[in-house]
A = this chain, B = another copy of it.
């Protein structure tokens, strides 16, 4: 029961089929029949195509209507690699042809692509000896400089951006959390955590903020550094551990222009 081929992405044939699906629909205005997929994808048997279509549906790439000829719907729009949004839209517009349905489809394609970006406010900086500047629940930021754009696809599923904020790390104090000076930490407001989650905690007895993996074991708290070469901290009194938020993501923008 090793990890399946999920994370690795799609196999050559799965990709090919999706490509055919998108191409065919764009060219003909209707989806291909299974035997037509055979031809274009260079697969000799209809059952094999059926085999892969079932997989793709399972994975959520397409939707099928049983017993219906050409009953295939592409759920995720095809976008060319390393192509900015404008190109994606150009492709969609191209696909649109001169039909109302096409226009709507193009809009939908674009909407999906665009909608996957969240704007997250940068609440401030985080340093070891300072309390966390947690933003108020209602925020109405309009300062572009204090926002980060993050693709929703990078965040956990279902994350709508509520309660999310970003902190800029200052200094090397978080180095044991594999977080370095200048890093951007995306966090989610939280007062408690489950075991295994990385949290920002305020240790009231030590008077410092730190990022650690959180574990509650036999009534005491274990704070595990992300860096496996470093030792964990054990705290017998859970009340001194004040959880400020869960770490969702860390972004490091490597400054390309030094000197």
Q: Which residues of A contact B (CB under 8 A)?
A: 6-10, 15, 18-19, 22, 25-26, 28-31, 33, 61, 63, 65, 69-86, 89-90, 93, 96-104, 106-108, 110-111, 113-122, 139-156, 160-162, 164, 172, 175, 178-180, 194-198, 213, 226-229, 246-259
In the complex, are the beta carbons of A103 and B113 less than 8 A apart? no
A250-B249 in contact given A78-B99, A98-B96, A106-B103 (Cβ < 8 Å): no
Kindly name the residue among A89, A149, A250 whose own CB sees the greatest number of chain B CB atoms within 10 A. Answer: A149
Q: How far is A120 from B83 in the complex, measured between Cα atoms in Å?
A: 8
* Residue pair A101, B25 in contact (C-beta under 8 Å): yes
Chain B residues within an 8 Å CB radius of A96:
98, 103
Instruction: Please name all residues of chain B whose beta carbon is closer than 8 Å to the beta carbon of A69 when the two chains form the complex.
Output: 33, 69-70
Within 8 Å CB of A19, what residues of B? Answer: 140-142
Of the residues B22, B72, B162, B228, contact of A82 by C-beta under 8 Å? B162
Assess the B75–A98 pair: CB atoms within 8 A.
Answer: yes
